[in-house]
């Protein structure tokens, strides 16, 4: 975040309110909502609010430092930028800004398979902070090619997301027509009219595309065909067998994202995963899921110090 933005938005609540006033309601809903009745989002929030920090003011200590080593590389803070699909809908080039900011802050930037910039562009912007998140496609040639492109671009960390065996039901997206395929409603149209800066930026840069998967589309860019492609080809169900295949093909570090149980953590470990991300997809997939922050300790206990495990 730039200093200018930080001066205007001193905390997350202010930042959210700024975003709300700049982007149309249906885009804000896409960014902020969960699934079904939004219970998982609320429960994630409540659980995070119950995390307390224990200060030791009098204990002798050196200078304050947040830096941390993750998978053999040192980063300046113990967090990074999570993958965000359809990022170009929020603002043109949103992922480029995130990637450059992550590099500047020296924290990991994870590009989503369905973000609006390509693997190659993200690698240019994030340089050695670039990680790639993979939704494994059913087409094995495409799967192989995506991994090869990430490798050639210099990516050392491949993040495989396992918690989208099917897409969560997102009522606010359904109401606003942000579905596959999208249906622009009259309401969404009026929301666009009330956010001229967003509308102008979109008009200037053109409709956001799925740049990473664009080369595999055999369509003319027609929305219905694109939706069909995403539904049928893009996301395979990640089972142990597929994870093993990916492990065998990927020459660098493999991270599994979306772990929500001790059992899955152990299985991921068995197939040679280097690290796991305990996550419930921000509550966007399973409304009755357990908040990840409540699972981290138990999972860490189960798998010990064998691999890094973060929520």
Judged by the rule CB under 6 A, the positions of this chain that interact with ligand FMN are 30-31, 82-85, 112, 114, 133, 161, 257, 279, 281-282, 284, 292
And the tokens for 90?
Answer: 């929020």
Which residues fall within 8 angstroms of residue 53, CB to CB, at 6 or more apart? Answer: none
Output the smallest distance, CB 16 to ligand FMN, in A: 12
Output the smallest distance, CB 91 to ligand FMN, in A: 12
In angstroms, the CA 207 to CA 270 distance is 42
By the 8 A CB rule, do 192 and 28 touch? no
- The residue among 153 and 278 lying less far from ligand FMN, judged by its C-beta, is 278
Residues 33-71: b if buried by 16+ CB within 10 A, e if exposed: bbbbebebbebbeeeeeeeeeeeeeeeeeeeeeeeeebb
- Please choose, from the candidates 272, 271, 261, 273, the residue with its C-alpha nearest in 3D space to the C-alpha of residue 302: 261
Which value, in Å, is the radius of gyration of the alpha carbons in the chain? 20
- The residue among 89 and 303 lying less far from ligand FMN, judged by its C-beta, is 89
Output the smallest distance, CB 161 to ligand FMN, in A: 4
Output the smallest distance, CB 13 to ligand FMN, in A: 17
- Please choose, from the candidates 73, 80, 149, the residue with its C-alpha nearest in 3D space to the C-alpha of residue 113: 149
Is 281 annotated in the active site?
A: yes
Given the residues 144, 205, 252, 281, the one annotated as active site: 281
Residues 276-305: b if buried by 16+ CB within 10 A, e if exposed: bbbbbbbbbbbbebbbbbbbeeebbeebee
Output the smallest distance, CB 89 to ligand FMN, in A: 9
- The residue among 290 and 307 lying less far from ligand FMN, judged by its C-beta, is 290
- The residue among 60 and 159 lying less far from ligand FMN, judged by its C-beta, is 159
In angstroms, the CA 198 to CA 211 distance is 20
- The residue among 1 and 64 lying less far from ligand FMN, judged by its C-beta, is 1
Return the active site residues: 281
């Amino acid at each position: 975040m730039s200093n200018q933005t930080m001066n205007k938005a001193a905390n997350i609540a202010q930042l959210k309110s700024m975003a709300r006033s700049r982007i149309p309601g249906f885009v804000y809903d896409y960014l902020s909502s969960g699934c079904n009745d939004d219970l998982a989002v609320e429960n994630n929030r409540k659980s995070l609010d119950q995390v307390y920090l224990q200060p030791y003011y009098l204990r002798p200590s050196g200078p304050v430092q947040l830096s941390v080593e993750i998978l053999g590389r040192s980063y300046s803070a113990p967090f990074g930028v999570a993958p965000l699909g359809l990022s170009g809908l929020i603002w043109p080039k949103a992922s480029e800004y995130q990637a450059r900011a992550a590099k500047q802050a020296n924290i990991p930037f994870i590009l989503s398979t369905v973000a609006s910039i390509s693997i190659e562009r993200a690698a240019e912007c994030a340089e050695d902070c670039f990680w790639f998140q993979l939704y494994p496609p059913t087409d094995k040639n495409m799967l192989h090619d995506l991994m090869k492109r990430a490798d050639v671009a210099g990516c050392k960390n491949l993040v495989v997301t396992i918690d989208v065996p099917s897409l969560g039901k997102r009522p606010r997206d359904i109401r606003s027509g942000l579905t596959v395929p999208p249906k622009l409603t009259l309401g969404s149209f009026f929301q666009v009219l009330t956010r001229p800066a967003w509308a102008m930026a979109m008009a200037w840069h053109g409709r956001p595309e799925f740049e990473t998967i664009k080369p595999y589309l055999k369509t003319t860019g027609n929305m219905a065909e694109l939706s069909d492609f995403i539904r049928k080809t893009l996301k395979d169900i990640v089972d142990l067998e597929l994870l093993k295949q990916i492990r065998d093909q990927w020459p660098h570090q493999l991270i599994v994202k979306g772990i929500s149980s001790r059992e899955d953590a152990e299985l991921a470990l068995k197939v040679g995963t280097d690290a796991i991300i305990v996550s419930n997809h921000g509550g966007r997939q399973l409304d009755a899921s357990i908040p990840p922050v409540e699972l981290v300790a138990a999972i860490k206990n189960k798998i010990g110090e064998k691999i890094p495990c973060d929520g």
